[in-house]
Amino acid sequence: QLQAYGGGLVQAEGSLRLSCLVSGSIGNIGTMAWYRQALGKERELVASVTSSGTTNYADSVKGRFTITRENGKNTVYLQMNSLKSEDTAVYYCNADVRGRTAFIARNYWGQGTLVTVSS
């Protein structure tokens, strides 16, 4: 299971940090990512980080958001700085997880956490 934390209401130019914990009988976690979906729009990739630490960001968040992972805690973070009103969305964590007794990984989604940026 993936459980996301940290959303809320913040003023423009403010900061928030999202966290997502992967729990269960885990053998291995591959790529972890954050997506977001604004009202009336499609879900989009915000940032991702591979198991070796390679990161990828949407152009709209480069230089403002930072994705990190703490493998020992099975957790991925998204530090969001200089927030803009257009960052308002429900943020979802996503991860490729192989169970302890499984041969292949499956892709899982967290439940989403709402980030609202007021201007």
Two tokens at 41? 């729009």
pLDDT at position 90: 98
pLDDT at position 109: 97
Range 23-28 average pLDDT: 91
pLDDT at position 53: 95
Q: Who wins on pLDDT, 26 or 49?
A: 49
* pLDDT averaged over every residue in the chain: 96
Determine the Cα–Cα distance for residues 10 and 24; give it in Å rounded to an integer: 32
Range 86-101 average pLDDT: 96
Band of pLDDT at residue 32, cut at 50, 70 and 90: very high
